Amino acid sequence: MADHRSPASPLGEAAFQDPQRAWAYRPALPLAGDPHGPLSGLTFSVKDLFGVPGWPLAASTRAAVADPGPSVLVQQLLALGASATGKTHLHEIALGITGLNGYGGTSHPFEPQRLPGGSSGGAAVSVALNQVDFALGTDTGGSIRVPAAWCGVVGYKPTKGHAAWSTEGVLPLSWTCDHAGPLARDLATVVRVHEALTGATVQPQRWSGVRVGLWLPEGWVAPEVRDAVKAYAGRLEAQGAVVAAVELPEMLDAYTPIVLSEAAQVHAAALQQEDPGFLPFTLGLLRQGQALSEEAVHEAHTRRAEYRAYLDSVLSRHDVLLAPVVPVPPPLAGQEEIDLPGGTTVLRRAVLRLNVPFSLLGVPALAVPTELPFAGAQLVAARGMDDRLLGLGLAAQE
């Protein structure tokens, strides 16, 4: 296992400043991409779950973690011409949405007293501050979309198992729910990377006649977030979309047992130690996962199948869904609860319940900024409809 690094460790570039503690590792020189590839000239950061030969991997924890082997996706991007500049911090082992980790945690790119979101917080910060052109992240329950929203950038979670966005060579959190995907300051860059990986062109899609299901759960988001998502829906209606309200259940009763049980298996070796090295909150969640019975996990998978059938039914009547990504703009660091119209709610639950349906069920989701700073909206399509979703996103911003 690689040596652990603290945020104060040298980052390769003597003059490089990282007050947000976004970077886990920066080599003296980037890994150069093929100068003749279609992504030549672009730089990217790599979330510290992806295996990169010669680079350490610690998953932003002081516990021992397994080596996942080299990331297929990183190697593909290098072959396509993009250059990798280093690794970014994450919420410890990706098991959280705030950015807290064993190296001090990452702070917001523009408001240092606030949270950047997680688990791909360092990835979002690296693009928000224009340190790279795009970033590789992972999303198990919102881990690309949440930091994208709170940092004011774009995040794309592809269909589960998308051939272009391989998770091979990525330290897992939950093999059932894990996705790999990009973050960038603009959708055009996300689309450029996606096109290079797929070899296909993404065409802007007209919104005229597109059936949009608007998911705005009563009491789950702050009034200003609700207004921003409604304003985004109004923009789509102005382009000819037909918007109607939809309802989805909270799916944490399926998601939580599946993810915690699988995470406990991933980190089983470390959990055998008397003091594994995880932060107390992370360790508590992993111990919960260890304690789950096979019956409880089986029941969670059964509920997941029921939710999947329900979402498929909703998406059979709508071409795309529109929903908030986060319930509020970025909370203060250390804040554990937020006040919502439906009552005071634990932050983790308030965020996850808006994002979990789409990672639990493997459908593509695109997080985009709204008129309210640092509070994005997400567009969601049926499995396999990634190119159409990205094309609709391109047209929506015109």
- Of 135, 165, 198, the last residue of a domain is 198
Q: Is 208 a catalytic residue?
A: no
Catalytic residue selected from 45, 83, 126, 143: 143
Give 73-87 pLDDT, tens digit per residue.
999 999 999 999 999
What's the CA gap between 377 and 380, in Å, rounded?
A: 10
The answer to whether residue 257 is domain-embedded is: no
Structure confidence at residue 354 (pLDDT) = 98
Token code pair at residue 3 = 């040596």
Q: Which of 9-13, 189-193, 215-219, 266-270 has the lowest mean pLDDT?
A: 9-13
Give 110-153 pLDDT, tens digit per residue.
999 999 999 999 999 999 999 999 999 999 999 999 999 999 99
Q: Indicate the number of domains in the chain.
A: 2
Give 324-381 pLDDT, tens digit per residue.
999 999 999 999 999 999 999 999 999 999 999 999 999 999 999 999 999 999 999 9
Q: Are residues 194 and 215 in the same domain?
A: no
The answer to whether residue 276 is domain-embedded is: no
Measured between alpha carbons, how far is residue 368 from residues 9, 63, 151, 340, 379 in Å? 33, 34, 11, 22, 8
Q: Which secondary-structure segment (H or E) carries 298?
A: helix 294-317
Domain residues for the domain of 358 are 211-252+293-396
The answer to whether residue 320 is domain-embedded is: yes
Structure confidence at residue 398 (pLDDT) = 77
Asked if 119 contacts 150 with a C-beta cutoff of 8 angstroms, the reply is: no
Q: Are residues 188 and 239 in the same domain?
A: no
The answer to whether residue 270 is domain-embedded is: no
Token code pair at residue 366 = 């695109």
Q: Are residues 218 and 186 in the same domain?
A: no
Q: Is 71 a catalytic residue?
A: no
Q: Are residues 126 and 246 in the same domain?
A: no
What is the chain's mean pLDDT, rounded? 95
Q: Are residues 158 and 49 in the same domain?
A: yes
Beta bridge partners, 136, equal: 46, 182
Q: Are residues 226 and 117 in the same domain?
A: no
Q: What is the CATH number of the domain that holds 170?
A: 3.90.1300.10
Catalytic residue selected from 60, 83, 107, 119: 119
What's the CA gap between 141 and 279, in Å, rounded?
A: 20
What's the CA gap between 393 and 373, in Å, rounded?
A: 18
The answer to whether residue 271 is domain-embedded is: no
- Residue in 164, 157, 240 with CA at minimum distance from that of residue 205: 240
- Of 131, 165, 198, the last residue of a domain is 198
Q: Is 119 a catalytic residue?
A: yes
Q: pLDDT band at residue 184, thresholds of 50, 70 and 90?
A: very high
Q: Are residues 99 and 45 in the same domain?
A: yes
Q: Are residues 68 and 183 in the same domain?
A: yes
Q: Are residues 230 and 193 in the same domain?
A: no
The answer to whether residue 264 is domain-embedded is: no
Contacts of residue 169, Cβ cutoff 8 Å, sequence gap at least 6? 50, 51, 68, 69, 70, 71, 72, 73, 74
Give 216-251 pLDDT, tens digit per residue.
999 999 999 999 999 999 999 999 999 999 999 999
Q: Are residues 117 and 226 in the same domain?
A: no
- Residue in 262, 296, 304 with CA at minimum distance from that of residue 95: 262
**What count of residues does the chain have?**
398
Catalytic residue selected from 47, 87, 157, 160: 47
Structure confidence at residue 15 (pLDDT) = 63
Asked if 215 contacts 322 with a C-beta cutoff of 8 angstroms, the reply is: yes
Give mean pLDDT, residues 99-106.
Answer: 95
The answer to whether residue 365 is domain-embedded is: yes
The answer to whether residue 377 is domain-embedded is: yes
Q: pLDDT band at residue 269, thresholds of 50, 70 and 90?
A: very high
Q: Are residues 53 and 147 in the same domain?
A: yes
Q: Are residues 50 and 113 in the same domain?
A: yes
Contacts of residue 140, Cβ cutoff 8 Å, sequence gap at least 6? 94, 119, 173, 174, 177, 178, 179, 259, 359
